[in-house]
Amino acid sequence: MLFDRDGTLIRDVPYNGDPRLVEPMPGATEALGRLRRADVPVAVVTNQSGVARGLVTPDEMDQVNARVEELLGPFDAWAICVHDDGDGCTCRKPAPGLVIRAAAVLDVSPRDCVVVGDIGRDMAAARAAGARGILVPTKETRPEEIDEAPEVADDLTDVVERVLNDVSEAPVPAAAAPWARAMGWSRW
């Protein structure tokens, strides 16, 4: 499963370069723990344009990410876009690059990934990569983003419940790795 960082896994502090300000979203620790116990790989896909804008140094971003892992546990992959909207990159959400990159590190097809985020850009990136998108709205999520989301969940606990229930019902080849059996993911 691929998670947006700010507003999804941790409270959104715009252009945060201070690890002391990292605070997990409600239910994040428990949801990630449940996925890890089910041998489901977890990754982060995050836009960090503050680096391109000079508002956050790469070292500060790394310190914040280290604090995220300290509080929420290790992630199997991090896919980070440090570009700004005007840079024309293919990784910055809503482009699919981060989803594709994280899927490649996890050695799965993007179409077998679930992208969890709090805004329309997250859902657009999932759609562009052929992944399943689940929106977990916050007070910053615009009403039209909720209306346009392919799937909306109440919180991270709801997301994990849906995904684990869905995959427990899906047939998976017997030769698949344990985590692939848990998610129904195929290698590409």
CATH number reported for the structural domain that contains residue 149 in this entry: 3.40.50.1000
The more confidently predicted of residues 172 and 81 is 81
Alpha carbon separation from 36 to 1, 39, 47, 104 (Å, rounded): 10, 5, 24, 19
Look up 12 and say whether it is catalytic: no
Binding-site residue numbers for Zn(2+) are 81, 83, 89, 91
Least confident piece of the model among 96-100, 110-114, 156-160, 175-179: 175-179
Could you tell me if residue 179 is inside a domain? no
**What total of structural domains would you count in the chain?**
1
Residue range of the domain that includes 106: 2-169
> Is 79 in contact with 114 (CB distance < 8 Å)?
no
The answer to the question of residue 44 being in a domain is: yes
- DSSP helix/strand/coil, 2: strand
15 part of a folded domain: yes
Catalytic-residue membership of 4: yes
Residue 188 lies in a domain: no
**pLDDT at 182 (0 to 100):** 41
pLDDT given for residue 169 in this prediction: 65
Interatomic CA distance for residues 168 and 141, integer angstroms: 30
Mean model confidence pLDDT for the chain: 91
pLDDT of 81 above 60: yes
pLDDT tens for 25-78 read 999 999 999 999 999 999 999 999 999 999 999 999 999 999 999 999 999 999
* Positions at the binding site for Mg(2+): 4, 6, 118
The answer to whether residue 183 scores a pLDDT higher than 60 is no
Task: pLDDT band for 167, please (50, 70, 90 cuts).
Answer: confident
Whether residue 185 lies inside any domain: the answer is: no
Whether residue 17 is contained in a domain is answered as yes
Convert the pLDDT of each residue in 131-157 to its tens digit. Answer: 999 999 999 999 999 999 999 999 999
> If 0-12 CB within 10 Å is exposed, 13-18 middle and 19+ buried, where does residue 158 land?
middle
- Token pair for 133: 């998108």
Query: Which listed residue (4, 76, 107, 154) is catalytic?
Result: 4
Structure tokens at 68: 């995220």
What is the pTM assigned to this prediction?
0.89
Q: Provide the pLDDT for residue 181.
A: 37
Q: Pick out the residues of the known binding site.
A: 4, 6, 81, 83, 89, 91, 118
Of 165, 184, 168, give the one whose Cα is nearest residue 176: 184
